[in-house]
Chain A
Amino acid sequence: MMAARRLTLALTTLGGLLLLTAAAALFVGSAPVSPRAVLSVLGGEKREGIEAVVVLSLRLPRIAVALLAGGTLAVAGVAFQALTRNPLADPAILGVASGAAFGVVVGQLFGLGSDLVAAVGLSAFAFAGAMVAAGAVYAIAATDGRLPIQTLLLTGVIVGLFFSAAITVVISLLDFNRLGGVIHWLLGNLAPVSAGSLAVFAALAALGVWLVLGRARELNLLALGEESALQLGVDAERLKRRIFLGASLLTSSVVAFAGPIGFVGLIVPHLLRGLLGPDNRLLVPAALLGGGVFLLLADTLARTIVAPAELSVGVITAFCGAPFFVYLLRMRYRGVP
């Protein structure tokens, strides 16, 4: 089949790009590690010393988090866009990321103990926050079962602002010593997490991707409008609930482990749609790989652009994403009064 062949081609290309980017990122960083040293660590000749620590305990986990978070965010973007039938939808713009972030800071108030408990607990708080925010946006913006774009975007911004304010309240209750860490996390950063946390993150992301990818064909039909989808045999209500759940899970898992990183879910699906077309059966797997490549590039830039200091990756994605959003908005309304 045509579509299947194109999927194979897209995944092979993006997979190659991903491996290449990941390999390159191993050699880049603020610590002075020579390429030869990186190779000897990777080759297993060097297992101790500063170089081994930098490559194996700093760079490698960070690359893994970047790939996972980027792919997850891009799939969340595709899912929200299909759900709202709107290419401008994104977890951050819809306020869902802020809801998840609020959940995380509330979770941190409780100071969840050991690492793995904290990972699971914070994810649960983030998921609850994301569901509340997404539910609020949907309930406020829906008129007669439809989601008009202006209302949806405005509602997302308002709900996002509300949760940002709520986050500020919780932060002022936090212990002063923990303030810096929380703020660093709020800007979105891919600090290495432990292997256990990474496993929890990956499991949640995999569940979310499965929820979305398993209904990719039905999501295509949703683009016709709900009534037409129903008349073509799609159980639209069940589909929407499943995608809503999946997209919230994807968003909240990233927020819990890497903070609210904006615009990845907007930029990556848009670029891929230009290359592959709107078929969600191609778009979802391609976004999983493409989002990873994008966020890894952004993070590598964030680590090196002001070296030896480093920027939060969320800053880079916002600097790319905000003008991109304006461009999309202008394109969409070009010629429309």
Chain B
Amino acid sequence: MSPLVEVLGLEFAYPPPEGRRARAFRLSSLAFSIAAGEVLGLIGPNSAGKTTLIRLLTKVLEPTGGRIALDGTSLGTLSRRELARQVAVVPQEGPPAFSYTVEQLVLMGRYPHAPGRFFERPEDLAVAREAMAATGMLDLASVAVETLSGGERQRAIVARALAQEPRLLILDEPTAHLDLRYQAEVVGLLRRLNRERGMTILLVSHDLNLAAELSDRLLLLDAGKIARVGSPEEVLDEALLAEVYGCPVSVEKSPGSRRLLVQVAWPDASDEGG
């Protein structure tokens, strides 16, 4: 079966920075694919290129070389609306500039499906309500987005992405700034979406344990290059992570299960005294 997303020899460089101290950033010859129904975890240190890659996959940025294909069609030939019908992003997004309700926010996800129409159609409202039901947001439909808690807002944005009825869902740090309970909720929601609807998911996260827990495969980016792609066991390798993150890392298998536990190998406090 051909992959849903295929990235071949992808190159990207930001225009040369104006400040002399700023470092030039580039992605060079990235090649990977995402199979339909797969959860791919995208990990890597800060400024490894994770956000840039999301922007390239959603045509916010244009690659300087190589190609990205969605189900065999080059991204360059798809219009923004066509792309937004297939790829939805859950970004790290603050509340809207004006006081929109949850329902209004979720209905915005219907825009790519009915462009040129002034108001949404009844079927758009039905899809939006279904998306709110899937994320447990129906009760909060008429609440203003800026009054929601961090976890609720995250779920509202996931509902908006679901209203796009995408084939690929991209999440950018979905659990950042969320407490443990909301993290557990988001993990449960993503797992349900993947298993029950066969949603293909690209999960970008700093949390290696979360990424390992949810993903079929991990893609480790380092300074604009792919350091390794493979199963969580293959990628979460002590020596590799230590090299990429530049600090000692320990990876343990939790007893009784195949779960991996990644953490910084903290130096003992007593060692730092000298």
Contact = CB atoms under 8 A, between A and B. Distances in A.
Interface in B97-132: 97-101, 104, 108-109, 111-112, 115, 117-122, 125
* A216, A223, A273, A277 interface centre (most CB from chain B within 10 Å): A223
A231 B60 contact: yes
B80 A233 contact: yes
Given A3-B120, A231-B58, A234-B80, 10 more contacts: A217-B117, A217-B118, A218-B111, A220-B100, A231-B84, A232-B84, A232-B109, A233-B81, A277-B101, A278-B104
Interface in A183-227: 216-218, 220-221, 223-225, 227
Interface of B: 55, 58-60, 79-81, 83-85, 87-89, 91, 93-94, 96-101, 104, 108-109, 111-112, 115, 117-122, 125, 164
Chain A interface residue number, banded: 20 to 34
Contacts of B118: 216-217, 281
A230 interface: yes
B60 A232 contact: no
Contacts of B79: 233
A279 interface: yes
A85 B111 CA distance: 19
Given A228-B91, A231-B58, A231-B91, A223 B96 contact: yes
A115 interface: no
Contacts of A273: 98-99
23 contacts: A1-B119, A3-B119, A85-B97, A86-B97, A217-B118, A220-B104, A221-B111, A223-B97, A224-B93, A224-B108, A225-B94, A228-B89, A230-B59, A231-B60, A231-B88, A232-B109, A232-B111, A232-B112, A233-B81, A233-B84, A233-B111, A277-B104, A278-B104
* B59, B101, B108 interface centre (most CB from chain A within 10 Å): B108
A1 B119 CA distance: 8
Given A232-B109, A232-B112, A225 B93 contact: yes
B105 to A, nearest CB: 8
A282 to B, nearest CB: 10
A44 to B, nearest CB: 40
A277 B91 contact: no
Interface of A: 1-4, 85-87, 216-218, 220-221, 223-225, 227-228, 230-235, 273, 277-279, 281
Contacts of B117: 217
Given A217-B118, A231-B91, A278 B84 contact: no
A4 B83 CA distance: 28
B112 A233 contact: yes
Contact of A230 (B80, B100, B122): B80
Nearest to B105: A224
Per DSSP, are chain B's interface residues mostly helix, strand or loop, or mixed? Answer: loop
Contact of A227 (B60, B99, B101, B122): B60
The 7 closest A-B pairs by CB, nearest first: A278-B98, A233-B84, A85-B97, A233-B112, A233-B81, A223-B96, A223-B97
A91 to B, nearest CB: 18
A4 B97 CA distance: 23
A278 B58 contact: no
Contact of B108 (A216, A220, A235): A220
A281 B100 CA distance: 13
Given A85-B97, A230-B58, A281 B119 contact: yes
A68 B109 CA distance: 35
B96 A235 contact: no
Nearest to B57: A231
Nearest to A3: B119
B98 A228 contact: no
Contacts of A233: 79-81, 83-85, 111-112, 115
Contacts of A234: 80, 111
A204 B87 CA distance: 40
Nearest to B55: A227
Contacts of B97: 85-87, 223-225
A228 B100 contact: no
Contacts of B83: 233
A217 B111 contact: yes
Contacts of B88: 231
B113 to A, nearest CB: 9
Contacts of B121: 1
A217 to B, nearest CB: 6
Nearest to A7: B119
B60 A230 contact: yes
A221 B98 contact: no
B77 to A, nearest CB: 15
B55 A232 contact: no
A329 to B, nearest CB: 16
Nearest to A226: B60
Nearest to B82: A233
